Structure 1
Amino acid sequence: MILESIVTTVDENGVVNIAPLGPIVLPPDPDELLPSFLLRPYQGSKTCENLLANGKAVIHVTDDVLLLAKTAIGHVPADGLVCQAVGGSTHHQRLVDCHRWFAVEVTSYGGTPPRHEMKARCVVDGVQRPFFGFNRAKHAVIEAAILATRIGIIDSQVIRDSIEALRTPVEKTAGLDEAEAFEMIVQFVSERLL
Structure 2
Amino acid sequence: MILEGLVTTLSPEGELNIAPMGPKIPADLSLGTFVLRPYRSSTTYRNLKAGGSGVFHITDDVLLLARTAIGAALDPPPATTPARAVLGRVLADACRYYEFRPIVVDDIDERTTVLVETLAEGRIRDFLGFNRAKHAVVEAAILATRTAFLPLSEILEEFQKFSVIVDKTGGPAEREALDLLLDHVRRSSRPPLESKAPSS
Q: TM-score, normalised by structure 2?
A: 0.86
> For residue 10 of structure 2, what is the aligned residue in structure 1?
10
> For residue 123 of structure 1, what is the aligned residue in structure 2?
119
Is 1:106 the counterpart of 2:102? The answer is yes
Mapped partners of 2:75, 2:89: distance in 1: 10
Mapped partners of 1:106, 1:27: distance in 2: 20
**Contact 1:25–1:35 at 8 Å: present in 2 too?**
no
| Unaligned 5+ runs, structure 2 | 191-200
> For residue 42 of structure 2, what is the aligned residue in structure 1?
45
Aligned-residue sequence identity (percent) comes to 39
Report SS of the residue matched to 1:164. helix
> For residue 56 of structure 2, what is the aligned residue in structure 1?
59
Q: Point out the structure with max Rg over C-alpha.
A: 2
1:25–1:78 distance in 2 versus 1, CA, 3 Å: farther
| Residue of structure 2 aligned with 1:70, choices 38, 51, 67 | 67
Structure 1, 70-79 or 2-11: larger mean CA deviation: 70-79
Mapped partners of 1:138, 1:57: distance in 2: 25
The Cα of 1:192 is off from its aligned counterpart by 0.5
> For residue 138 of structure 2, what is the aligned residue in structure 1?
142
What are the Cα deviations for residues 134-154 of structure 1, in whole angstroms up to 9, with x where unaligned?
110000000001111222244
1:69–1:34 distance in 2 versus 1, CA, 3 Å: closer
**Contact 1:73–1:185 at 8 Å: present in 2 too?**
yes
The Cα of 1:165 is off from its aligned counterpart by 2.3
**Contact 1:27–1:35 at 8 Å: present in 2 too?**
no
Report SS of the residue matched to 2:168. helix
Mapped partners of 1:82, 1:114: distance in 2: 32
1:77–1:50 distance in 2 versus 1, CA, 3 Å: farther
Report SS of the residue matched to 2:50. helix
Report SS of the residue matched to 1:126. strand
Mapped partners of 1:78, 1:14: distance in 2: 19
The Cα of 1:78 is off from its aligned counterpart by 8.6
Q: TM-score, normalised by structure 1?
A: 0.89
Mapped partners of 1:160, 1:117: distance in 2: 31
Aligned residue pair count: 189
1:160-171 pair list within 5 angstroms: 160-171=156-167
Give the letter for the 2:8 counterpart.
T
What are the Cα deviations for residues 63-112 of structure 1, in whole angstroms up to 9, with x where unaligned?
0111111111115549652432223332x210111100000111112254
| Unaligned 5+ runs, structure 1 | none
Report SS of the residue matched to 1:3. coil
> For residue 193 of structure 2, what is the aligned residue in structure 1?
none
By percentage of residues, which structure has more strand? 1
Report SS of the residue matched to 2:25. strand
Mapped partners of 1:146, 1:65: distance in 2: 12
**Contact 1:16–1:78 at 8 Å: present in 2 too?**
no
> For residue 20 of structure 2, what is the aligned residue in structure 1?
20
The Cα of 1:55 is off from its aligned counterpart by 4.1
Mapped partners of 1:161, 1:112: distance in 2: 36
Report SS of the residue matched to 2:112. strand
